[in-house]
Amino acid sequence: GQAVLRRAESIASGAAADGLPVPAARDGLGEALARLLMLSKRCPFPDVREKSEAILSGVQELGIRIPRPLGHGPSRFIPEKETIQVGKEDAAMHTLFAESFATLGRLDNVTLVMVFHPQYLESFLKTQHYLLQMDGPLPLHYRHYIGIMAAARHQCSYLVNLHVNDFLHVGGDPKWLNGLENAPQKLQNLGELNKMLAHRPWLITKEHIEQLLKTEENSWSLAELIHAVVLLTHYHSLASFTFGCGISPEIDCEGGHTFRPPSVSNYCICDITNGYHGVDEIHASPTGSIPVSSTESVCEVEALMEKMKQLQECRDEEEASQEEMATRFEREKRESMFVCSSEDEESAATRDVSRHFEDTSYGYKDFSRHGMHVPTFRVQDYSWEDHGYSLVNRLYPDVGQLLDEKFHIAYNLTYNTMAMHKDVDTSMLRRAIWNYIHCMFGIRYDDYDYGEINQLLDRSFKVYIKTVVCTPEKTTKRMYDSFWRQFEHSEKVHVNLLLVEARMQAELLYALRAITRYMT
């Protein structure tokens, strides 16, 4: 900080000696000031926040413009006053914040939204730390580069920017960032698997695995491949969370701050280029931009609870036959193909992100498009609990355990509340969300009645789920606002945790099954 202040004094005195106006931040000073701005707003340690603020004030007194944050809080979808404010957290959350800051070097916006659910956040941070920083088959710079490749598949500039910085910090070659073709052939070979995992994991076969493991000069070991697969699925699903919760750019990253003064209307063209697409998205009312009467919303909650009660009674009275259960699954899988938003449109990847992957036109496609049939993946034949977990743990020790814990926390997490209601058993609803996501990937549980999904998940909710899971880059604030309109933001974040973990497990199941088939 003191070095920044001395550099600012040098620039200011040099400009004065030349009889010139004091320039805007230059020569790397802007980057340092943005970092200080982040620390002054987001550091969990009060003394660091105060010192950062003091240095920024000192720079400003020299006549040098300091940056200001763009956006309003960690999420574009959640009003800042409804998120947990740094410096106002309780003791348990402060410990989490401090650990996150020590691990990541920042308190990032993902953490500030996930902290609605501290138990999950603790498991998430522990897993991510292990994947990126602890002993493992892959070198550190490979791990961050694979994170960039995975996030870029969904045009997630938020995650790409973070990992570009981390990649360089651990000694990665800057030339690799000019495009995937500049990275080693071994990483380029991973591009096909990255593409299929992100968009059409059901197409992965043991032949794809064999190509990676048996390429003579640039082959992957089984342990390296498991590490890479877990990283790819982690960042595909984290991209879903980033878009699904409207995560804002980090204050010290591109799009998170500006040196321009506020415009009169508090809205200018620079906001558009940084992802703020309309005044209503910036100045959203606390209840969201979808006008709806409170009575109507309350009725939605009551109706959902009544359906849950009726379904429970039906379960107790009769059980459908295996044939009927299979029919209902196929019907739901078929219907999920036709769930799409009226806002659905092709979005072109920006060059800045697309250079990190090949075949930019390759995206999510429903199962039976163009007459293509994909066999149903039966969990009874290959499951995470009985097969995937042990394979991961054998080849990448402890990671199977960490993932298993994270899956279980997300699946079982409950506060027994629904909007304004307390003491509610939400297990039926959570299972419907999880199984609907797996159904979209062709994964079937023989013991589940898929008829329950249509009873519990309305169209606007299905649109949101499918968009966040399959094409997260197309998620809008309107989609977020339009489902579960009377529910708390913490409950909508909870939904996103289910989407993240169900998606990650679905991708892993297809990849691990292909690896198992190759090994046998």
DSSP 185-248: HHHHHTHHHHHHHHH-GGG--HHHHHHHHS-TTTPPPHHHHHHHHHHHHHHHHHHHHHHHTTBP
pLDDT at 213: 95
Query: The tokens of 403 are what?
Result: 């993932």
Query: Rounded to 10 degrees, what is the CA torsion of 167, 173, 176, 177?
Result: 50
Can you tell me whether residue 436 is helix, strand or coil?
Answer: helix
Closest C-alpha among 132, 322, 323, 240 to residue 506: 240
Query: The tokens of 481 are what?
Result: 């606002």
Query: pLDDT tens track of the chain, all 520 residues?
Result: 666 667 666 766 655 554 444 454 454 577 788 888 888 888 899 988 888 888 888 888 887 888 888 877 999 999 999 998 888 888 888 999 998 888 888 899 999 999 999 999 999 999 999 999 999 999 999 999 999 999 999 999 999 999 999 999 999 999 999 999 999 999 999 999 999 999 999 999 999 999 999 877 899 999 999 999 999 999 999 999 999 999 999 988 888 888 777 654 443 333 333 333 333 333 334 444 445 555 565 688 889 999 998 888 887 666 777 777 788 778 777 777 666 755 544 444 444 665 555 555 555 665 545 455 667 999 999 999 999 999 999 999 999 999 999 999 999 999 999 999 999 999 999 999 999 999 999 999 999 999 999 999 998 999 999 999 999 999 999 999 999 999 999 999 999 999 999 999 999 999 999 999 999 9
pLDDT at 365: 60
Backbone φ and ψ of 168, nearest 5° = -70, -35
**Interior/surface letters 123-134, b for 16+ CB within 10 angstroms, e for the rest:** bbbebbbbbbee
pLDDT at 359: 57
Query: The tokens of 130 are what?
Result: 């292990």
Can you tell me whether residue 87 is helix, strand or coil?
Answer: coil
Could you give the CA distance from residue 384 to residue 398 in angstroms, rounded to a whole number?
Answer: 15
Residue 3, C-beta contacts closer than 8 angstroms, at least 6 positions apart: none
pLDDT at 126: 95
pLDDT at 273: 34
- Integer-rounded Cα Rg, in Å, for the chain is 24
Cα 468-203-136 angle, rounded to 5 deg = 75
Could you give the CA distance from residue 103 to residue 129 in angstroms, rounded to a whole number?
Answer: 7
| C-alpha dist (Å) from residue 171 to 108, 121, 177, 352, 501 | 22, 28, 12, 21, 31
Which region, left, alpha or beta, applies to residue 416 given φ > 0 means left and ψ of -120 to 50 means alpha? left
Query: The tokens of 460 are what?
Result: 């606007």
pLDDT at 102: 85
pLDDT at 334: 72
- Cβ proximity of 227 and 396 under 8 Å: yes
| C-alpha dist (Å) from residue 450 to 176, 325, 428 | 46, 7, 12
pLDDT at 33: 82
156 in catalytic set: yes
pLDDT at 286: 40
pLDDT at 19: 47
Q: Are strands 421-422 and 417-418 parallel, antiparallel or unpaired?
A: antiparallel
For the chain, percent helix, then strand, then coil, each to nearest 5? 60, 5, 35
Could you give the CA distance from residue 17 to residue 262 in angstroms, rounded to a whole number?
Answer: 30
- Cβ proximity of 403 and 501 under 8 Å: no
Could you give the CA distance from residue 515 to residue 226 in angstroms, rounded to a whole number?
Answer: 9
Could you give the CA distance from residue 438 to residue 508 in angstroms, rounded to a whole number?
Answer: 12
Closest C-alpha among 220, 145, 153, 233 to residue 189: 220
| C-alpha dist (Å) from residue 216 to 140, 152, 204, 280 | 23, 28, 21, 55
Q: Which of 43, 156, 253, 439 is the catalytic position?
A: 156
Q: Locate tokens 């969201």: which residue?
A: 288
DSSP code, position 385? I
